[in-house]
Amino acid sequence: KKLGFAIVGLGKFAQEQMMPAFKDCKYARITALVSGSPDKAKKLAAEYGVDAKNIYNYRNFDSIKDNPAVDVVYIVLPVGLHAEYTIRAAKAGKHVLCEKPMANTEKDCQQMIDACQKAGKKLMIAYRAQYEPFNLEAIARIRKGELGKVMQITADHGRIVDPTGDQADTWRVQKKLAGGGSLMDLGIYSLNAARYLTGEEPVEVTALEMSDQADPRFKEVEDRIHFTLRFPSGILATCTSSYSTEGVKRYRVFGQKAWLDLDPATDYYEHKMVIGDKDGQQQPKIKEGNQFAAELDHMAECVLQNKTPKTPGEEGLKDIRLIMAIYEAARTGKKVKV
Ligand code: NAD
């Protein structure tokens, strides 16, 4: 059985990556669309075979509760709207898949968790990298001890944010809708990777931030932020996040026996792993897989089998709590314990 998903927010990521991925899903299909633009919704409904009576807007969204064709609401809106729509979806009796980063504040994250719990519905945060084969292979090799004891990690994520050239970037430079700058949008990949690669939770963070105050893009949100994480076992992670440098999505894990590179690590369709040690380097053969479909199917399977998602609301909250600690460290210039 395929569960019905309602897509909330028909923007760039929804249209270009997620909606096309449903064709590769075993347990998920699109049954409803939620949009402020009726023409766009009608056109996409026709394209994806969605019944026109299952098109909603942001005002009548709550009536989705009466629609048995919808099991899961997938929220692909600007971050500042994630909490409101997750809570409304839970109140409508629907399970929720919500895009990363989870929300602007820890309080919003907690309210999202509470609303879904109260409604007896699943909440999953769409951390696609945790459903992606190269990242899963990296985790497996680390756990098997292939690198020896892991000592440190570096992770870099960045791209040029372009609010005048790319419609999808207009909200990303507005604090209210984005919650913050490159750290919320991209640095979160470095942060989340450092956590899933080590399997540990950081206990201490430091950070430095640099944003050109004369650049209109960085009036409300930060450009570059570098942060360091200390893990309980002693592993250190050094991460960078940027909105003003050419695209990068990579990490390196340094063990006592070997290092492992993933570059790109968190791309949509392309990944490359290299492992190096004193004898040289090798590039393991790993098959690319559709991480978007894997993520959607995981959500559906969790609902069908009544399982807790691998990346539940609590996972999203952990990152937001750490992001707030990183901002505090950058602001105060002091180490922050978490
Ligand atoms: P986008 O701007 O293209 O899409 C957002 C959609 O929300 C648009 O269709 C917009 O019209 C709609 N919207 C509704 N109310 C709005 C309001 N009040 N203000 C602004 N827009 C409003 O952005 P996007 O890049 O598609 O990002 C959407 C979400 O997906 C974000 O949460 C983002 O972080 C996430 N995302 C995740 C990934 C990933 O790899 N997991 C990649 C890109 C984006």
Domain containing 202 — which CATH number?
A: 3.30.360.10
Verify whether residue 48 is a known catalytic residue.
no
| Residue 82 Cα: closest atom of ligand 1 | 32
78 and 191 together in one domain: no
187 and 249 together in one domain: yes
- For a pocket test of ligand 1, which of 8, 55, 99 has the largest count of ligand atoms closer than 8 A to its C-beta? 99
Neighbours of 288 (CB within 10 A): 12
229 and 116 together in one domain: no
Neighbours of 319 (CB within 10 A): 23
Confidence of residue 91 (pLDDT cuts 50, 70, 90): very high
Domain that holds residue 56: 3-127
Q: Kindly name the residue from 94, 100, 249, 318 that is annotated as catalytic.
A: 100
Mean pLDDT of 57-62: 98
pLDDT of residue 208: 98
Mean pLDDT of 207-234: 98
| Residue 268 Cα: closest atom of ligand 1 | 40
| Residue 12 Cα: closest atom of ligand 1 | 3
CATH number of the domain that 114 lies in? 3.40.50.720
Q: What percent of the chain has pLDDT over 70?
A: 100
54: nearest Cα among 67, 65, 43, 44 = 67
Contact 136, 289 (CB under 8 A): no
Has residue 303 been placed in a domain?
Answer: no
Mean pLDDT of 149-175: 98
Confidence of residue 287 (pLDDT cuts 50, 70, 90): very high
ipTM for the predicted complex comes to 0.99
pLDDT of residue 291: 98
Over residues 249-261, the pLDDT tens digits come to 999 999 999 999 9
Over residues 38-49, the pLDDT tens digits come to 999 999 999 999
210 and 189 together in one domain: yes
Cα-to-centroid distance, 153 and ligand 1 (Å): 30
- Cα–Cα distance between 212 and 215 in angstroms, integer? 5
Verify whether residue 100 is a known catalytic residue.
yes
Q: Whole-number mean pLDDT of the chain?
A: 98
Cα-to-centroid distance, 72 and ligand 1 (Å): 18
The reply to whether ligand 1 has any atom less than 6 angstroms from the CB of 11 is yes
- If one counts the domains in the chain, the total is 2
